[in-house]
Structure 1
Amino acid sequence: MTPPATASTPTRSPEAIRAEREAFYARIGQDNLAPLWEQLHNLVTKTPTSACVPAHWSYNQVRAYITEATDLITAQEAERRVLILENPGLRGKAAITTSLYAGLQCILPGEVARAHRHSQSALRLILEGDGAYTSVNGEKTIMRRGDFVTTPSWTFHDHGNDSDKPMVWLDGLDVQLVAALDASFAESSNDDQQALQRPVGDSVLRYGNGMAPVDWTPAPNKASPLFCYPYARTRESLFGMQAGGQPDPCLGYKLRYIDPLTGGAPMPTMGAYAQLLPRGMTTLPYQCSSGTVFAVLEGEVDVQVNDTRFTAVPNDVFVIPSWAAHTFSVRDDAVLFSFSDRPVQEALALYRENRSGRV
Structure 2
Amino acid sequence: MQSHTVEPEQAQARREYYDRISQQNLTPLWEVLGRLVTPTPASPAVAALWRYAEIREPLMEAGRLITAAEAERRVLVLENPALRGRSAITQTLYAGLQLVLPGEVAAAHRHTQSALRLLLEGDAAYTAVDGERTTMRRGDFILTPSWTWHDHGNPGTQPAIWLDGLDVPLVQFLDASFSERSSVATQLPVRPEGDSLKRYGANMLPVDHKVTGVSPSPVFVYPYERTRESLLGIAQGEPDKHLGFKLRYVNPATGGSPMPTIGAYAQRLPRGFETRAYRCTDGAVYVCLEGSGHAEINGTTHSFGPNDIFIVPSWNELRIHATTDTHLFSFSDRPVHQALGLWRESRE
* 8 Å contact kept, 1:115–1:191: yes
> 1:257-276 maps to which residues of 2 (within 5 A)?
257-276=249-268
2:209 aligned with 1:216, yes or no? yes
Aligned residues: 344
Other structure's SS at 1:65 match: helix
Measure, in 2, the Cα distance between the counterparts of 1:328 and 1:307. Answer: 11
Q: Which amino acid aligns with 1:279?
A: R
2:65 aligned with 1:72, yes or no? yes
Moved more, 119-128 or 21-30: 21-30
2:218 aligned with 1:225, yes or no? yes
Runs of 5+ in structure 1 lacking a partner? 1-11
Deviation digits for residues 305-350 of structure 1 (CA, Å, limit 9, x no counterpart): 1131121100000001110111011122100000000000000010
Runs of 4+ with >6 A deviation: none
Q: Which amino acid aligns with 1:236?
A: E
* 8 Å contact kept, 1:124–1:171: yes
**Identical residues among aligned pairs (%):** 57
> 1:190-339 maps to which residues of 2 (within 5 A)?
190-218=183-211, 222-243=215-236, 245-339=237-331
TM-score of the two chains, using structure 1 as the length reference: 0.94
In the TM superposition, residue 219 of structure 1 has moved relative to its aligned partner by 5.2
Deviation digits for residues 238-275 of structure 1 (CA, Å, limit 9, x no counterpart): 011022x2000010000000001100000000000000
* 8 Å contact kept, 1:298–1:314: yes
Could you tell me which residue of structure 1 aligns to residue 121 of structure 2?
Answer: 128
2:121 aligned with 1:101, yes or no? no
* 8 Å contact kept, 1:153–1:221: no
> 1:178-197 maps to which residues of 2 (within 5 A)?
178-197=171-190
Measure, in 1, the Cα distance between the counterparts of 2:214 and 2:314. Answer: 27
Runs of 5+ in structure 2 lacking a partner? none
TM-score of the two chains, using structure 2 as the length reference: 0.97
Work out which of the two has the higher radius of gyration on C-alpha atoms and give 1 or 2.
1
Measure, in 1, the Cα distance between the counterparts of 2:7 and 2:75. Answer: 55
2:70 aligned with 1:86, yes or no? no
> 1:344-359 maps to which residues of 2 (within 5 A)?
344-355=336-347, 357=348
Measure, in 1, the Cα distance between the counterparts of 2:212 and 2:226. Answer: 25
Could you tell me which residue of structure 1 aligns to residue 162 of structure 2?
Answer: 169
Could you tell me which residue of structure 1 aligns to residue 132 of structure 2?
Answer: 139
Measure, in 1, the Cα distance between the counterparts of 2:214 and 2:176. Answer: 13
Moved more, 106-115 or 302-311: 302-311
Deviation digits for residues 276-296 of structure 1 (CA, Å, limit 9, x no counterpart): 001110110110101110000
Q: Which amino acid aligns with 1:326?
A: L
Other structure's SS at 1:131 match: coil
Q: Which amino acid aligns with 2:307?
A: N
